[in-house]
Structure 1
């Protein structure tokens, strides 16, 4: 069953997961980003735990301004790739970072393991279904939350560029 049909079935069952108010979600992520900035990235990033997700710092290039943009995202690992979702706190609009990556897919991620250049792409077909299912194992309310958006939530794969591995020669700073 596709993720869209599962989401519709969840809604049809009448069970609605509780989603924090939008202001709370936005405030939380702004606070998280402030902690990262204040500590130079020493606090606020973590590796995915079994049955959980990690936090990374993504640096993109603004599609209109050309300026550097940073955002904190949840992620899971899929081999050498990092996988996130373009959900915008489950709001209806596409997140700016995803729009930036569509215009310029080359970016830089910082994880607990270091900094690495990546190239972003949208997962499609079987790959999307497999990665969506992984996220659904972590977040039991994923289908319900996704059903509140007017369009399919993109599953974004961040692939290492040119065989790049994490580089922690920065001493945890960037």
Structure 2
């Protein structure tokens, strides 16, 4: 399945990438790696991708939703911003070079963007579990990409 969601033209302000946000992301990722923590009341994992331009590993904390025994759903919401987050493009460039961490568990995964009825079912599950994602979807005119991560 293709990673083909274009950026939108309107939406919420994308979370900044300044020193405070970098510190906060490091803090949250260390907590997730130690305890498998929740972030803002939702399950969270550390997503590590390969930079599409640099080829370097890039890690970020992301909320996830269980999708079976060895599968997880994530949303490229960027909090309802008009642009997809950078990690979305990294996954699109290297969907077979993705790793996730939850507590002391590290899993190599492959990524696939969901489309059509499969996305609709997953989106319904996500918004019922975490209504803030429905809000993010209303804030922007892009369709928020839903991505399935499947353990190798």
Please give the TM-score of this superposition, normalised by the length of structure 1.
0.68
Map of 1:102 onto structure 2? 92
Deviations 1:152-173 (A, max 9, x none): 0000100112xxxxxxxxxxxx
Map of 1:68 onto structure 2? 57
* Displacement of 1:91: 1.1
Q: Which of 14, 34, 37 pairs up with 2:26?
A: 34
Q: Give the superposed CA RMSD.
A: 2.9
Q: Highest relative contact order (Cα 8 Å, sep 6+), 1 or 2?
A: 2
Larger radius of gyration: 1
Residues paired across the two proteins, number: 138
Map of 2:112 onto structure 1? 121
- Secondary structure (helix, strand or coil) at the match of 2:34 reads coil
Map of 2:71 onto structure 1? 81
Output the CA distance in 1 between the equivalents of 2:80 and 2:129: 16
Please give the TM-score of this superposition, normalised by the length of structure 2.
0.76
Map of 2:139 onto structure 1? 148
Runs of 4+ in structure 1 over 3 Å off: 21-32, 36-40
When structure 1 is superposed on structure 2, of 69-78 and 137-146 the one drifting more is 137-146
